[in-house]
Structure 1
Amino acid sequence: MTYDAVPPRDLASMARAEFAFPGPLRDRLVTAVLDGSKTATTGLVAGYTHEGEPLPEVGNRSVVIDSDDRPVAVIEVTGVCVVPLAQVDLGHVVDEGEGHTSVAEWRASHERFWHGEEVRTALDDPEFTVHDGTPIVLERFRLLSDLRPSV
């Protein structure tokens, strides 16, 4: 795979892409980004709103951060849409690279995460829940640069 060069000076000004929270889940997701099996992700509109962050836009670049807070890759957004949770399709599920083989399996996994203490704490909402109509952000991206040192 050929990557576009990203000058190191540009990394400091890029947004950070932090998949999940530091730990085993983030480690799996970052590995999937780096091996090319993860080309999509899903976020809660509520998370962007709570943090006062704009939704991603096509062309945005961000630096992927691993569980040790190290930059390991640069990705570029290639597609974004906001849909109700009930509209996620199997194509998006597969492109998330987490090994889910059905929308129901994907949804159960994501609901466990979104209903978890870490997400509820991050949103300052101990009762946060998702439902069919919950607005979510479906984001597609491509890997631009693998920043890990060559061995």
Structure 2
Amino acid sequence: MPVLPAPYENAIAFSFGDSPELADDLLRRVLAGDKTASCGALRDFGADGEPMPEVGRRDVVLNGAGEPAAVIETTSVEIARFDALTPAFTDQEGEGDYRAWREGHEAYFARNGGFSPDMQLVCETFRLVDVLPAGRPVYNQVARPTFVVTDIESDGPTPLHNSMLSFASVAIDADGTPRGEFEAVLKPRPDRMQNETTMAWWQTQPEAWAAATHNPEAPDVVMPRYADWVEALPGPHVFVAAPMIFDGLWMDHYLDEFAGTRVLSGPFKGRQIFRGGGVCLYTMAGTLRGAPYLDWGMSKLPSEFYGDIAHTHKAIDDARGFANVLVELFKLSRTLPPISGSVADFR
């Protein structure tokens, strides 16, 4: 039996398929975000066979060499006949179209106890919750990040003294494919004060102020809900803001304070919903424009980069505009020659 790392020492460990090659292939699909479902013959489960999957349980997936590579959490379980399954389920297995799925599974079951069209299957959906050391090289090659582009509004310059009023996040992939949106209005913290200069500015923005203060909710309700939303997005999640030092600072503080997680990932204990140090659009835009530092600024970008979305200081409008900017900047970055290095170069 493989030695499982903390905190998964007592988890159930298994590999997909019936060969090292198939185990690696299906694991790769899980790590890429293409495979979020699996099925097995009901006859193989029970007291003398494999343990039945359970919603909420986290299992360790082994690679073809038997090494712990990933952790998945079961999100649904049902029993269904083989010939009753439709693409609504089989597409989630990430193994081709329905015809390819059927041919592959007929062959698999035939060589593992027998196949019949009316055989009962245990059908499970799951989500990837952790990548272990043996899975990271493959994950880094195949995973498609979700970029969570975020804008916040506040009643002052710092979360140490002031309150975040509202925020919005737009989740996209590098090509701009939408993966979801989240927006919220927050109740001001009773242990914080409004900043006089900031409030004077808000008086010049009545529509944005109304949007940032309408129907607020408590931060200790909103931030855990937001963390759950981020965690449910596909792929590794990357925080994006313009600039990171402002919006990222506010979100990091509120996530740490009210949801037990952070914008920044690293060698920290506890829940980590984002990968890496995030993306500062301000810096990315300035460098890819080839501008000197004193000529950086989001206002220096052409309006078409924003998808012609006006910067209204309403969090959702600004997040959508910045999401369009990120896609345009990725287009620019792809035209540049790649630069490579190594850990040895860094150290």
TM-score (norm 2): 0.36
Q: Of residues 85, 104, 108 in structure 1, which corresponds to 2:82?
A: 85
In the comparison of the two structures, how many residue pairs are matched?
A: 133
**Which residue is equivalent to 2:130?**
145
Cα distance in 1 for residues equivalent to 2:49 and 2:105:
22
Q: Of residues 11, 14, 38 in structure 1, which corresponds to 2:11?
A: 14
8 A Cα contact 2:22 2:64, kept in partner: no
Structure 2: give runs of 5+ residues left out of the alignment.
Answer: 138-347
Cα distance in 2 for residues equivalent to 1:13 and 1:28:
25
Question: Aligned residues: percent identity?
Answer: 32
* Residues 24-70 of structure 1, C-alpha deviations (whole Å, 9 max, x = no match): 21111000111111100011101114734442111111000001110
- Give the direction of change, closer, same or farther, for the CA distance of 1:110–1:50 in structure 2 (3 Å limit): farther
**Which residue is equivalent to 1:136?**
121
Cα distance in 2 for residues equivalent to 1:86 and 1:50:
26
* Residues 120-149 of structure 1, C-alpha deviations (whole Å, 9 max, x = no match): 3xxxxxxxx222221101100000001126
* Residues 88-137 of structure 1, C-alpha deviations (whole Å, 9 max, x = no match): 11021111011x212x4312210111111xx23xxxxxxxx222221101
**Which residue is equivalent to 1:123?**
none
1:101 aligns with 2:111: no
Higher share of residues assigned helix: 2
The code of the aligned residue for 1:35 comes to A
TM-score (norm 1): 0.79
Q: CA RMSD in A?
A: 2.0
Higher share of residues assigned strand: 1
Cα distance in 1 for residues equivalent to 2:19 and 2:118:
28
Q: Which structure's relative contact order is higher, taking Cα pairs within 8 Å and 6+ residues apart?
A: 1
Cα distance in 2 for residues equivalent to 1:54 and 1:26:
18
Within 5 Å, which residues of 2 pair with 1:18-33?
18-33=15-30
The code of the aligned residue for 2:109 comes to W
**Which residue is equivalent to 2:109?**
114
After superposing on structure 2, the runs of 4+ consecutive aligned residues of structure 1 that deviate more than 6 Å are none
Q: For residue 8 of structure 1, report the CA deviation from its aligned partner.
A: 3.6
* Residues 1-20 of structure 1, C-alpha deviations (whole Å, 9 max, x = no match): xxxxxx94232200013101
Cα distance in 1 for residues equivalent to 2:62 and 2:20:
12
> Between Structure 1 and Structure 2, whose CA radius of gyration is higher?
2
